[in-house]
Chains A and B, each alone.
Chain A
């Protein structure tokens, strides 16, 4: 049950696109299409942004998109806005009723 690997930080200018990676193994990210992404503001509870690799819950802007290739999942934020500055976490089902999170990525909008 090792944590998924995310870059500690990412940044982009307002209006640009940024992609955050999430690397696991064939036992988690690569083995299931149950990768999800969460946005967390300081002092607040996380919010689901993407589930099942690329699906967006109702109310999440379509600027947020997800994908997966092999053992690596990615979250792309297009048309960056100041409000997107937050911490982002990926999560994956890891089999046998277990889940694992990534270490988190702090997104800065320049």
Chain B
């Protein structure tokens, strides 16, 4: 059974940093691309960032480019999101998401339950 468990969310002040982690199990982690997708309170889904199986291809939404960094450790079956210079508009539930493919152009076939990030003074 595929499991994606996010951690690292919490309350943080504007301008500070936070690092999210996602522990994956139930599938061969290094065979698939992975993503972070967020959902603000009462809002729709927003793709944040994605990384290919070997970290060779990485993409970011324009809203986070230059502030967020995605990474993965295939030896630890883990995905990360380093979030710097956080803003109030980054407040959201952050989902760790598995891709159907190893590279680009896939679909999001498994989702974690999310970790809540609240940016407020």
B62 touches A1 (CB 8 A): yes
Segment 83-100 of A: residues with Cβ below 8 Å from B: 89, 91, 93, 96-100
A90 CB → nearest B CB, Å? 10
How far, in whole Å, are A102 and B43 apart by their CA atoms in the complex? Answer: 11
User: Quick one: which of A34, A40, A45, A97 contacts B107, CB cutoff 8 A?
Assistant: A34
Across the A-B interface, how many residue pairs have beta carbons closer than 8 Å?
66
B100 touches A99 (CB 8 A): no
Place the interface of chain A in its size category: 20 to 34
B47 within 8 A of A: yes
A34 touches B61 (CB 8 A): no
A15 within 8 A of B: no
How far, in whole Å, are A51 and B52 apart by their CA atoms in the complex? Answer: 18
B45 touches A101 (CB 8 A): yes
Q: Which residues of A contact B62 (CB under 8 A)?
A: 1
Identify the stretch in B7-15, B82-90, B109-117 within 8 Å (CB) of chain A at 4 or more residues.
B109-117
Closest to A57 in B: B109
User: Given A45-B113, A99-B35, A1 and B50 touching (CB < 8 A)?
Assistant: no
A38 within 8 A of B: yes
A-B pairs with beta carbons under 8 Å apart, 27 shown: A1-B61, A1-B62, A3-B44, A32-B105, A34-B105, A34-B106, A36-B108, A45-B111, A45-B113, A45-B114, A46-B45, A46-B95, A46-B108, A48-B109, A51-B106, A51-B107, A89-B44, A89-B45, A91-B108, A96-B59, A97-B52, A97-B57, A97-B59, A98-B47, A98-B61, A99-B50, A104-B44
- Partner-B contacts on A (CB < 8 A): 1, 3, 32, 34, 36, 38, 40, 45-48, 51-52, 57, 89, 91, 93, 96-104
Beyond A51-B109, A93-B105, list 8 extra A-B contacts (CB 8 Å): A36-B107, A38-B45, A40-B45, A91-B45, A93-B104, A98-B47, A98-B50, A98-B59
